Amino acid sequence: AEVEETLKRIQAHKGVIATMVINAEGIPIRTTLDNSTTVQYAGLLHQLTTKARSTVRDIDPQNDLTFLRIRSKKHEIMIAPDKEYLLIVIQNPCK
């Protein structure tokens, strides 16, 4: 229930197109998009997050990745990584 609430709150933000929760292996757990798109996003972003995290830690092993934002022409993908899960939110930031 708390989980639902938090996700709903995030989804209710202005401009949010989609929200996704992915586990450590890249398998989507919760999503607001259709299956094929979700799976595609999950696979690609999971790899990217792993790469980004390994980059940060290579440079400084004490450091760790806290947030990843990808800004594209049409919208912005925000990824909050954790040890076991990944929270992905796609937002359209323009007014």
Partner 1 sequence: IGHPEIFPLVFTTKTQEIFNCRVDEDVTEENCFKLIKKEDIVQDLKTRAAISDFHPVKKVVLEYPGEELLVVFDAKFEYGQNFYLVASEEAKENLLKPPETTKEKEEEKEEEDREATLEVHPYKPPVHKPWVSLGSEKEVEEESVKDTVTKIKYMISRVRRKFGAPITFTDKNASHVKDSYVECMSYQDKTFSIKMLEKDVGIQMVPKVREASTQTKWTYPKNAATQYFPRQLSDEEEEECLSSEKLKEFLTSVHLRMEIALQQNEIMNAFFDDWKALAEDESSSGGKPDVYLKAYQLFTDLRYLKDRTISCVCWHPTIYGIIAVSARQWLSYEEQVNLSDKSLLQQSVILFWSFFDPIHPQLMLECPEDIYCFQFSPSDPNIIVGGCISGQVVLWDISQHEEKLQNAKTAADEIKMTAVNMVNASVLNILQYNSMSGPSLMQVQQSSTEPPLVRYCTISSIQYSHKKPVTDIHWLPDYSEENQMGATFGNRAEVCVELVTCSPDCSILFWDIPATKLPEQPSSEKKKEEEIFNMPPDVPDTLKHLDLCWKPLIKINLCESGINTEYGPVRISLRELHYHYKTSEKVQSLNTLEVPAKDSPRTEMSTPSSKNLKALESISTSFFVGTEDGEIVYSKWKMEIGSDSAKPHTQKYTIHTETITTIQRSPFFKDIILSIGGRNFAIWKEGVTNGPILQSSCSAGRYTVGQWSLTRPGVFFVGRDDGNIDIWDLMKKTHEPSHFQDISKSMIAFISPCIASAKQHFLAVSDDLGVLHVLELCQTLSHTLSNEHANVLEYFEREVKYLKHCEQEFQEYQEFQAKTELK
Contact residues toward partner 1 (CB under 8 A) are 2-3, 6-7, 9-10, 13-16, 21, 23, 25-35, 39, 42-43, 66-67, 69, 71, 76, 78, 80, 82, 84-85, 87, 89, 91, 93-95
**Closer CB to partner 1, 45 or 91, in the complex:** 91
Provide the minimum distance between the beta carbon of 73 and partner 1 in the complex, in angstroms, as a whole number: 10
If you write DSSP's letter for every residue of 30-68 in order, what string do you get?
A: EESS-HHHHHHHHHHHHHHHHHHHHHHHHH-TT-----E
Q: How far apart, in whole angstroms, are the C-alpha atoms of residue 57 and residue 26?
A: 20
Provide the minimum distance between the beta carbon of 77 and partner 1 in the complex, in angstroms, as a whole number: 11
Provide the minimum distance between the beta carbon of 60 and partner 1 in the complex, in angstroms, as a whole number: 20
Q: How far apart, in whole angstroms, are the C-alpha atoms of residue 93 and residue 27?
A: 27
Amino acid letter for position 51: K
